[in-house]
Amino acid sequence: MKSTADFLKMKGSGDKIVMMTAYDFPTANMAEEAGVDIILVGDSLGMVVLGYDSTVPVTEEDMIHHGKAVRRGAKNTFLTVDMPFASYHGSTDRTLETGARIFRETGADALKLEGAGVVSDAIRTLVAAGMPVVAHLGLLPQSAGVLGGYKVQGKSAEAANRLLEEAKEVEAAGACMLVLECIPHQLAQRVSEMVAIPVIGIGAGAGTDGQVLVFHDLAGYGSHRVPKFVRQFADAGTEAQRGIQGYARAVRNGEFPSQEHQFTMKEEEAGKLYG
Ligand code: KIV
Ligand code: NA
């Protein structure tokens, strides 16, 4: 398994870091098999797997339940788990208890938190207790209501410079990595040059140290809304739909199950059945 030290080296040598989300055992298996560097159990779980409209309803229990399944499926891949909505903005005690529970019970290698400011204090708290933290700036889905929707962030020089300051702040707070979501590529590249920690982009252009995509988006699986910045690398949903339609058709026309899919008892035994 690669470590945070390996990711730092990759940044130094320009080897791109590959991160993707997973929420269950088989997907984690496939990611590990493909040599993905980092698996993220994102709270995008709420939208792509649980059918919510946002990440807000996702709970600590949800993150632990799915985090454990992913860990079982990828024992040798660096695992990051999102802390859910509003679970790290209150007291230090609550942040520490929630973070430690998710970290311990899922066997995660790092936790991910959205934002700076008060969240930088949370980063400091968790890191001081021994938990690596991945920061997340730019579009913050947990704060979509406050941001006025799912929009590109940091488009003006003023907003962009504010984000640069936040990036330096979360780095100083001890974050081991930074995810940048949905910002102009020029800004993402500048941030990547200005901080020493690896920067992973999503909708942030090619100038970052690595990329992250949501599994369901890259695999073309599901009926959720897919953002403009996604490239769909497979069409798993169409394949699965074909399978379901074929199954329903075959049951209805008596084609399934056929002889090869059934069990047989000896005729002499079958002859003794009642009636
Ligand atoms: O929850 C998630 O999938 C994420 C990624 C988009 C970075 O936070
Ligand atoms: Na997330």
Average pLDDT on 4-18 reads 98
Q: What is the mean pLDDT of the chain?
A: 97
Asked if residue 21 has its Cβ within 6 Å of ligand 1, the reply is yes
For the annotated binding site for 3-methyl-2-oxobutanoate, the residues are 43-44, 82, 112
**Tokens describing residue 88:** 């790290």
For 134-150, the DSSP string reads: EEEEES-GGGHHHHTSS
- Map tokens 């001890």 to a residue: 174
**Residue 226: predicted pLDDT:** 86
- Please identify which of the residues 32, 97, 181, 268 carries the catalytic annotation: 181
For the annotated binding site for Mg(2+), the residues are 43, 82, 114
DSSP-H helix ranges across the chain: 4-13, 25-33, 45-48, 60-73, 92-106, 118-128, 144-147, 157-172, 185-194, 215-218, 236-252, 267-270
What's the rounded Cα separation, in Å, for the pair 161 and 132? 26
For the CA of 44, the closest atom of ligand 1 is 1
Residue 43: closest CA among 35, 33, 34, 55: 55
Q: For the chain, give every domain's residue range.
A: 4-236, 239-270
Vertex 131, ends 129 and 132: CA angle to 5°? 135
What's the rounded Cα separation, in Å, for the pair 100 and 116? 20
Q: pLDDT tens-digit profile of 162-220? A: 999 999 999 999 999 999 999 999 999 999 999 999 999 999 999 999 999 999 999 99
Rounded to the nearest whole angstrom, what is the distance from the C-alpha of residue 237 to the centroid of ligand 2?
22
User: Atom 4 (ligand 1): residue with closest C-alpha?
Assistant: 42
pTM of the model: 0.97
Asked if residue 80 has its Cβ within 6 Å of ligand 1, the reply is no
For the CA of 19, the closest atom of ligand 1 is 7
- Map tokens 């780095």 to a residue: 171
What's the rounded Cα separation, in Å, for the pair 111 and 123? 9
**Residue 133: predicted pLDDT:** 99
**Residue 2: predicted pLDDT:** 97
The number of angstroms, rounded, from the C-alpha of 118 to the middle of its chain's C-alpha atoms is: 23
**Residue 161: predicted pLDDT:** 98
Interface pTM (ipTM) of the complex?
0.99
Residue 166 appears among annotated catalytic residues: no
User: 270 by DSSP, 3-state: which?
Assistant: helix
What's the rounded Cα separation, in Å, for the pair 19 and 212? 5
Alpha-carbon distances, residue 52 vs 158, 184, 260 (angstroms): 33, 28, 41
Handedness of CA 145, 148, 152, 156 (dihedral sign): negative
Q: pLDDT tens-digit profile of 61-116? A: 999 999 999 999 999 999 999 999 999 999 999 999 999 999 999 999 999 999 99
User: Atom 5 (ligand 1): residue with closest C-alpha?
Assistant: 42
Residue 224 neighbours by CB under 8 Å, 6+ apart: 47, 48, 216
User: What amino acid is encoded at 239 in this protein?
Assistant: E
User: Atom 2 (ligand 1): residue with closest C-alpha?
Assistant: 42
Neighbours of 65 (CB within 10 A): 15
**Residue 223: predicted pLDDT:** 83
- Flag whether pLDDT at 32 surpasses 90: yes
User: Atom 1 (ligand 1): residue with closest C-alpha?
Assistant: 42
Share of the chain above pLDDT 90, in %: 98
Report residue 224's pLDDT band, with 50, 70 and 90 as the boundaries.
Answer: confident
- Flag whether pLDDT at 157 surpasses 80: yes
Share of the chain above pLDDT 70, in %: 100
Topology of domain 4-236, per CATH?
TIM Barrel (3.20.20)
For 203-216, the DSSP string reads: SS-S-SSEEEE-HH
**Residue 120: predicted pLDDT:** 98
Rounded to the nearest whole angstrom, what is the distance from the C-alpha of residue 267 to the centroid of ligand 1?
58
**Residue 275: predicted pLDDT:** 78
Asked if residue 102 has its Cβ within 6 Å of ligand 1, the reply is no
- Flag whether pLDDT at 225 surpasses 90: no
Distance between the two ends of the chain, CA-based, in angstroms? Answer: 62
Asked if residue 47 has its Cβ within 6 Å of ligand 1, the reply is no
Buried b (16+ CB within 10 A) or exposed e, 193-221: eebebbbbbbbbbebbbbbbbbbbbbbbb
Report residue 9's pLDDT band, with 50, 70 and 90 as the boundaries.
Answer: very high
